[in-house]
Structure 1
Amino acid sequence: MPTAPQTTDELYQALQENDRRPYGRTRTVTAEELVDAAEQFAEPVPLIHALLELQEAYTYGSEPRKSPVVFARLLTLFDEQPNVFDERLRHMLFWRFKWVAGALRALPEIPLASLRQWLTEMRDRYVKAGLDLQPYYGQAYQLAAHLGEDTALAYELWAGRARSRLSDCEACEICDRALYHLAAGDDERALRTWEPVLAGKESCQEEPARSVSYALLPLLRTGRTDEARELHLAGYRGCRRNPSMAGEVGRHLEFCALTGNEARGLELLAENRTLFDEVDSPRELLDFLTGVEVLLQRVEGIGHGQLPAAGFAGRTWTVAGLRAEVRGRADDLAARFDARNGTPAHTDRRRARLDRAPLLDALELTLRTRSLDDVAPAGPVTAPAARAAAAVPESLPELILRARSLDEQGHPDADACWERLRTLVAARDYAHPDDPAVGPLVRLHADLLADEASRAGDKDEYADAVALHEEAADLYEDAGEPGHAAIARACALLAAAEVPTEDAGAAETADTDDAGTKTTGAAEAKATGDAGAKVADGAEVKVAALTAAHATMVRLHEETPALTPVQEARLLRLRATALGLRLQTSGSEEHVAPVLAEVDLLHTFATRHDIGGQIAGARLLRATTYAMSGDLPAAVTEIDGLLDRLRAHGPAWYLPRTLGLRGRIQLGLQDAQAAHADLTESLRLAAGWPADAVGTARVHGDLAEACMHLGRPDEALRHLTRSAELDLRRGSRTDAFCTYSNVARLSLEMGRVEDCIALLDSLLAEPDVTGGELDDRLVAQLRLTRARALHAGEDLKAATAEFVTLAAESAGWDDDPGSHAVIAAETAVLLAESGEFGRAREAADQALTAHARAPRYEQLSNCLRELARLQAQQQGPGGLDDARAFLADAARIADEARAAGYEAHGRSLDTALAYEHGRVNAYAGEYEDALAALEEALALLGEPGPENDRAGEWAECVRLAGAVEGIYLERTAPALTRLDAAVSRLTALGHTEETEPLTSLAARLREEE
């Protein structure tokens, strides 16, 4: 706290600000400081408020030892000056007797006699104050359940009584009743009892997260797996990283362990690693540690005890090591509770949880399904194979020759040979064969470097690829292999041209353009403003680099002596590839013919020497060139011919890639059904080859696009997630995160809010994200989507916090003011929804300033109109002036858009503005102005037609005008005339659905006449 409050008004303001903070050390420390500040004032009421805030911070910050101490001070103040406690303060005081009872139960060092004494104190105080005793009996039942005694009588004394004003909230009492039935072994009755909470009808500070954590296993046992999955996602988000809900986190870990989701369990454990040290409540800690042990026991039991695990601070843990530590600590805690209570209840409950067998072999919990193999140290990527890969030769000379032969063919099995050789050569006892056919060791080192360079290029690590290819070329020269050296240098030239320039890397990255397309990188950025100019500059640089690389390759080809046919074909392929990339970068028609000329050279040469892989490569390049030039039918014809050849003569591994290309072209021809068939067949054939070799990740991505065109979003989602995970496994993390970003947005559009949040939480916890290694704009895009998902999931507080943070960060994006404009505008809306209109105005002004540099007409107009609506709706006449100020800003944006020739993709900005003037004035009670504005909106819209997609908008405008006119201005006759005419018009045009709200309003007006 920078400065201690000097007045009571400042103190109350500081208390309000602290109340907005999440529970944890920051809030608790601030509350302690505010108590110190409150003690300087002569009047006791500010101190009472500060102490109440501090007790709440201790209670929900998992510090039960301190909560009773604060309450003792409050109780003393009440005994000394009862008159200063108004009805609200008195209610809060008596309510918190229950908090103290809970805190004492959570501490095994508190004698059982003291717990019973406190309940007696609570009963006496309630009787003296004339309060109903149902809350007292509730606490008596809680103590009996905690002790493991026969709870039947205590339950009846509590649950059989009517609720009172000081009873626990309905949601908490429902949970306690359900837990009673659960303890009795009646899953079905427990779930029936829980239904109002699980369905979201009853909630509070801890609910439904508390109930969900307990209901997960009963749901599984009764076969309601889909509901368990959904509640796990939503419920976990409600308790994660929360020290006061560590027990709930432990039960979610247990759920993962018992459903075949051990990898997700380890991920969630890592996300909650701070709980090992932050939880100060022994009862919560015992619950948490037991859940952790269930997970670790399962992971170790299936043979992964040496995996890394997140645990207590101060050392690095394996699963096995952490399990042993957790077991010791949890056993000790259970023993301490049992010693205090005089029963074995806590040890018995712990043992029951640890003895549970898995309930399901596998339950798909999230969009990002991972196994324990995925969290193990990275190894080479493999694919499920229908075709057994060729065995790697045992003989070293045979292995070297086999690797080179397969590599010359471009055969996917070469990768396994090179991996084996890389391991053998790295061994300290490696002895190179003395065999002229194998050649010297320097040649083998060059081969391995060339293979490593190719892998780096596949991962878009072009700078590394350049260095490795150059080093390989030098070694080939030393080995007397000028042909291989030339190929390595040509590869280095191609990789060097792909190295991003400083300007080319800049682009809009966390934005939504006016069409609603979210951009994540230079390749997808729209050429608008400074970022677009930089992308264009980068393209020109790349075109020049590829042109120069091609010229150098030609000279290299001409000057290298004694090339074998295979080497010459590879150089021709690299030349053609350089020109193909140039065409892809420039999109210029003048660059088409040079590519085709080089492809013809390659095809002719490869056909003369019967080099099958290069024949196929040439025809693929030709088809791709036709496609890039816009001649899609010619591309399809070329691919059809290639497919016939591949089926007859091979190579077989070209089939999946070729079918994938035909599928992409079919998408360009808008034949999604044909594209789906080709891409599905491509995937079927790809199953027999390593994923990297046949581009399986790309095929999954294209198949997702086909599915979207065919109206199959769920199938598209599966293919996108598979594509992303394949990219992750091969190390292409940027590509993977971009694809997962699309997955998150699609799941959000589909209404799968919790899936979206769970996926993004998982991605944002990845080490390269938390370590700042991933592109910051891509991370910002992920966070932005998560904030939107939180908003859609009605977690307004969390969504607002994330938006505010993103708005502050994006203010520094000088190269991308448009993204900041959108983020700041959305932030303003969330602040307004929370009633913070001053901060909302500040955020809106930031958005307008950024919009002046990079216009975002539609988004800014939408947000400003929404801000006006919210202010008028929440504040009525008192908010009208500020609401009209927002509308004035929206009007200026509409004028700017009109002057710029901008056409909105959604509603007309002018029409929407007129309609919003109508709503705002109606909320503020200015009904004549509201009706005039709605008449203007109707005039701008015009009469709907039979094909008019604005019929719904027109009908809504008529409805609101009818309501203002008929209900608020009490002009029933003209309102009915308006509504009846609109119903007749819409019915005649076939828009019957749009007539329903108009007919309903007309009926209401007639009833009130």
Structure 2
Amino acid sequence: MTGHAGDADRRLRGAPAPELVAALADARDMPDGEARFAELERIAARADALGDARSALDARFALVEAYLLHGERWRLTEPVRRCLAAVDRFPELLAERPGEAELLRRHQRYAVEAAIGTPRIGLDTARALLDDLARRGGETSGLVAQLRCRLADHLGDEPTARRWHDTWAAAEPDPTAGCPGCLPARRAELLAGWGDDVAARETLRPVLDGAVDCTDQPERALAVGLLPWLRAGETERAGQAHVRAYRRHRRERTAFGYLAVHLRFCALAGHPGRGLDVLAEQLPRLDHPYDDLTAMEFAAAGALVCALAAEAGLGGRRIHRPAHGSRPAAEVDVDTLGTDLLTLATGLAGSFDARNGTGHQSGRIASWLAERPVGTPVPLPDDDGEPAEDDAPFVPAADELAPLSLSMITSVLDGRGDVYAVDAGGVVVGRWNEAVIQFRQVGTRGEILHARVVAARRLPSARLTEAYAFCNAWNHDRLLPKAYVHDLGGGELVLAGDVTTDLEHGVAPAQLGVLVDATVATGVAYAEAVAALP
């Protein structure tokens, strides 16, 4: 085979077209948002047209990651579906990079979960992806059972959800099914929703006893246990759990989904005033929710707080609601805010039900709004409800796992004695000899540490072939960083590199220090190698 046909065959076997590799590197440097999405889609389409399966897969992986980074999970289904079709047609694509098989399975899970979180994805699409996941991994795998359970619960089919719950609970651990330390809390949340508070509390026991290793715990489990403990009369335990968990959840951008249960607890525990405090503090986050489901739940819980606060004589209190889009900033009274939140919650529930062909979500929200306090106000431990002005960022002990955070990154750099700056977007930037290195958090929960190394020396664009050869040789001989060429236009080439580490299960400061040390050392070596080019 010769000529263009030979090129196409070579690309199908995994050798990417250089012009698409360069375009993909450029796209990764674009700001997050629609322009970047459009460029990645264009590259994927161009790769399809050229028969370059490797570049098409890389572009769609990058597109999925961009959607996740930007909070656009509802858009995952099409690129994930195209990736699955590509690896079915060309299995060697995953054979070349074994880690991508697990990554694709994880992305497939995210796409199915997105259908639970928003009505913008059709049920047939979600079910097709879930059936495909079962075909690849087995019908009774933990991941498939979990997703079938959660989807059935979302549709209001409790008997089916319970059957899949039992399969899920008995399944072997699956690394793509999510954090194993969080899965008991997720199961307990479902059980509590079905009114099985005894089983929910029992399911939480290993987490609360410290038998799991997860950086979201025990606060997530404490939040899940709030209403089961309250309904069981364990009011002191529930009050302590709320105060402890909310101290953490109030500040974490990934904890938006837990805020509804904190609001419901305040309403049902006889603390509508505290509920208004929580609502006022967290209301701006409703304009940037994790997904439609968590927005619906937050709005419904907030509407309940407002209704009970009005009944308690607090209806005249005013709460600041910041401007968003075409909505101006305003000081709204409790009654007005409650009406607005109720409208939002019922509207979203109606959208879910219209997509699902059921009335389950509307009924669920109505049942929340009908709830009333369980008795006398629950005692709460001392907590002023406000963070101290001089609160230092949380930094765990050297060997203690914790979610990756900006304060942990800067603490490591401070310990090294490095000079750096932090921009408005939370990106840490510093220069080490010939290397400019950026550290930032990416991923839906900020759980991925991404470092970008840029060599200070630039090459003229006439040396593009030589630059590609240098990067290919570097990637062949060195593990870090992953090198690539970026054409700035105007006659200059930037040689850059990436180091990406998934820290979904948390990281200890000592481990993070090792990662930063390795990134700086290899980044400097890379930049010095660029500087040494003729």
Aligned ranges for residues 312-323 of structure 1 at < 5 Å?
A: 313=323, 314-315=327-328, 316=330, 317-323=332-338
Q: Is the 8 A contact 2:185 2:204 kept in 1?
A: yes
Partner of 1:329: 344
Against the structure 1 CA distance between its residues 353 and 57, is the aligned structure 2 distance closer, same or farther, given a 3 Å change threshold?
farther
Q: Give the residue type in structure 2 aligned to 1:63.
A: E
Q: Is the 8 A contact 1:62 1:244 kept in 2?
A: no
Q: In structure 2, which of residues 350, 373, 377 is the aligned counterpart of residue 358 of structure 1?
A: 373
Q: Do residues 287 (structure 1) and 297 (structure 2) align? A: yes
Q: Do residues 93 (structure 1) and 104 (structure 2) align? A: yes
Partner of 2:314: 304
Q: Extract unaligned runs of 5+ from structure 2.
A: 1-18, 422-438, 441-447, 454-508, 522-534
Aligned ranges for residues 744-759 of structure 1 at < 5 Å?
A: 759=386
User: Secondary structure in 1 aligned to 2:181?
Assistant: helix
Q: Do residues 119 (structure 1) and 112 (structure 2) align? A: no
Q: Do residues 338 (structure 1) and 353 (structure 2) align? A: yes
Partner of 2:384: 368
Q: Is the 8 A contact 2:303 2:369 kept in 1?
A: yes
User: Secondary structure in 1 aligned to 2:283?
Assistant: coil
Q: Is the 8 A contact 2:318 2:334 kept in 1?
A: yes
| 1:194 CA drift (Å) | 1.3
| 1:230 CA drift (Å) | 4.8
> Structure 2 CA distance, aligned partners of 1:68 and 1:786?
37
Partner of 1:348: 363
Aligned ranges for residues 604-623 of structure 1 at < 5 Å?
A: none
Any idea what the Cα deviations from partners look like across 1:565-621, whole Å, max 9, x if unmatched? xxxxxxxxxxxxxxxxxxxxxxxxxxxxxxxxxxxxxxxxxxxxxxxxxxxxxxxxx
Any idea what the Cα deviations from partners look like across 1:652-695, whole Å, max 9, x if unmatched? xxxxxxxxxxxxxxxxxxxxxxxxxxxxxxxxxxxxxxxxxxxx
User: Secondary structure in 1 aligned to 2:74?
Assistant: coil
Partner of 1:797: 405
Q: In structure 2, which of residues 81, 90, 99 is the aligned counterpart of residue 81 of structure 1?
A: 90
Q: Is the 8 A contact 2:207 2:218 kept in 1?
A: yes
| 1:105 CA drift (Å) | 2.6
Identity of aligned residues (%): 23
Q: Is the 8 A contact 1:279 1:285 kept in 2?
A: yes
Partner of 2:117: 106
Partner of 1:669: none
Q: Do residues 194 (structure 1) and 204 (structure 2) align? A: yes
| 1:252 CA drift (Å) | 1.6
Partner of 1:890: none
Q: Is the 8 A contact 1:308 1:318 kept in 2?
A: yes
Q: Do residues 70 (structure 1) and 79 (structure 2) align? A: yes
> Structure 2 CA distance, aligned partners of 1:210 and 1:179?
10
Aligned ranges for residues 375-390 of structure 1 at < 5 Å?
A: none
| 1:10 CA drift (Å) | 12
> Structure 1 CA distance, aligned partners of 2:55 and 2:344?
42
> Structure 2 CA distance, aligned partners of 1:263 and 1:802?
37
User: Secondary structure in 2 aligned to 1:303?
Assistant: coil
| 1:217 CA drift (Å) | 1.6
Q: Do residues 137 (structure 1) and 145 (structure 2) align? A: yes
| 1:223 CA drift (Å) | 4.7
Any idea what the Cα deviations from partners look like across 1:135-184, whole Å, max 9, x if unmatched? 22322222211111123333334434444454444234313432343234
Q: Is the 8 A contact 2:273 2:314 kept in 1?
A: no
User: Secondary structure in 2 aligned to 1:65?
Assistant: helix
Q: Is the 8 A contact 2:257 2:290 kept in 1?
A: no
> Structure 1 CA distance, aligned partners of 2:123 and 2:58?
31
Against the structure 1 CA distance between its residues 837 and 70, is the aligned structure 2 distance closer, same or farther, given a 3 Å change threshold?
closer
> Structure 2 CA distance, aligned partners of 1:104 and 1:343?
15
Against the structure 1 CA distance between its residues 368 and 13, is the aligned structure 2 distance closer, same or farther, given a 3 Å change threshold?
farther
Q: Do residues 177 (structure 1) and 193 (structure 2) align? A: no
Partner of 1:954: none
Partner of 2:285: 275
Any idea what the Cα deviations from partners look like across 1:279-303, whole Å, max 9, x if unmatched? 2732222111112112212222211
Q: Is the 8 A contact 1:261 1:365 kept in 2?
A: no
Q: Is the 8 A contact 2:264 2:301 kept in 1?
A: yes
Against the structure 1 CA distance between its residues 235 and 798, is the aligned structure 2 distance closer, same or farther, given a 3 Å change threshold?
farther
| 1:95 CA drift (Å) | 2.8
Q: Extract unaligned runs of 5+ from structure 1.
A: 1-5, 19-25, 370-758, 765-781, 813-829, 840-868, 882-1009
Q: Is the 8 A contact 2:222 2:242 kept in 1?
A: yes
Alignment root-mean-square deviation, CA:
4.9
Against the structure 1 CA distance between its residues 205 and 11, is the aligned structure 2 distance closer, same or farther, given a 3 Å change threshold?
farther
> Structure 2 CA distance, aligned partners of 1:350 and 1:790?
42
Q: Is the 8 A contact 1:290 1:350 kept in 2?
A: yes
Against the structure 1 CA distance between its residues 74 and 179, is the aligned structure 2 distance closer, same or farther, given a 3 Å change threshold?
same
User: Which structure shows the higher helix fraction?
Assistant: 1
Q: Is the 8 A contact 1:59 1:244 kept in 2?
A: no
| 1:97 CA drift (Å) | 2.2
Partner of 1:148: 156
| 1:226 CA drift (Å) | 5.2
Aligned ranges for residues 868-883 of structure 1 at < 5 Å?
A: 874=514
| 1:352 CA drift (Å) | 2.5
Against the structure 1 CA distance between its residues 44 and 138, is the aligned structure 2 distance closer, same or farther, given a 3 Å change threshold?
same
> Structure 1 CA distance, aligned partners of 2:301 and 2:210?
25
Q: TM-score, normalised by structure 1?
A: 0.35
Q: Is the 8 A contact 1:216 1:228 kept in 2?
A: yes
> Structure 2 CA distance, aligned partners of 1:340 and 1:333?
11
Q: In structure 2, which of residues 264, 271, 291 is the aligned counterpart of residue 254 of structure 1?
A: 264
User: Which structure shows the higher strand fraction?
Assistant: 2
> Structure 1 CA distance, aligned partners of 2:449 and 2:85?
37
> Structure 2 CA distance, aligned partners of 1:194 and 1:119?
27
Against the structure 1 CA distance between its residues 109 and 233, is the aligned structure 2 distance closer, same or farther, given a 3 Å change threshold?
same
Against the structure 1 CA distance between its residues 125 and 113, is the aligned structure 2 distance closer, same or farther, given a 3 Å change threshold?
same
> Structure 2 CA distance, aligned partners of 1:240 and 1:870?
26
Against the structure 1 CA distance between its residues 75 and 365, is the aligned structure 2 distance closer, same or farther, given a 3 Å change threshold?
farther
Q: Give the residue type in structure 2 aligned to 1:77.
A: A
| 1:320 CA drift (Å) | 0.9
Against the structure 1 CA distance between its residues 31 and 878, is the aligned structure 2 distance closer, same or farther, given a 3 Å change threshold?
closer
| 1:343 CA drift (Å) | 3.2
User: Secondary structure in 2 aligned to 1:309?
Assistant: strand
User: Secondary structure in 1 aligned to 2:405?
Assistant: helix
User: Secondary structure in 2 aligned to 1:273?
Assistant: helix
